[in-house]
Amino acid sequence: MNFIVFGVIAPIAYFFLRFLIKRLVINFIQSAKRNSDIKDMTKCENCGTFISEEDVKQIEGKNICNKPECKNNV
């Protein structure tokens, strides 16, 4: 009887609980990230300032910001 409880049922229950908790934590992190107002930032390769990914332009494979001096130096 001990073999069935500790050898079969306990490992199955352990992996099931581990899977369930892992899934809940991942869903919580994803929903918190989705609901936050934090934007992903990217560094301009000319001037070195960090700007949001929405404002970045890719020119010749480089991330360039909207400043006129950065656009002219490409």
Domains in the chain: boundaries:
1-38, 39-74
Average pLDDT, the chain: 87
- At residue 3 the predicted structure's pLDDT band, cuts being 50, 70 and 90, is confident
3-state secondary structure the chain: CHHHHHHHHHHHHHHHHHHHHHHHHHHHHHHHHHHCCCCCEEECCCCCCEEECCCCEEECCEEECCCHHHHHCC
The fold of 39-74 is: Wheat Germ Agglutinin (Isolectin 2); domain 1 (3.30.60)
- At residue 61 the predicted structure's pLDDT band, cuts being 50, 70 and 90, is confident
Q: Averaged over 7-36, what is the pLDDT?
A: 94
How much is the pLDDT for 14? 97
> What predicted TM-score, i.e. pTM, was given to this entire model?
0.50
Whether pLDDT at 74 is above 70? no
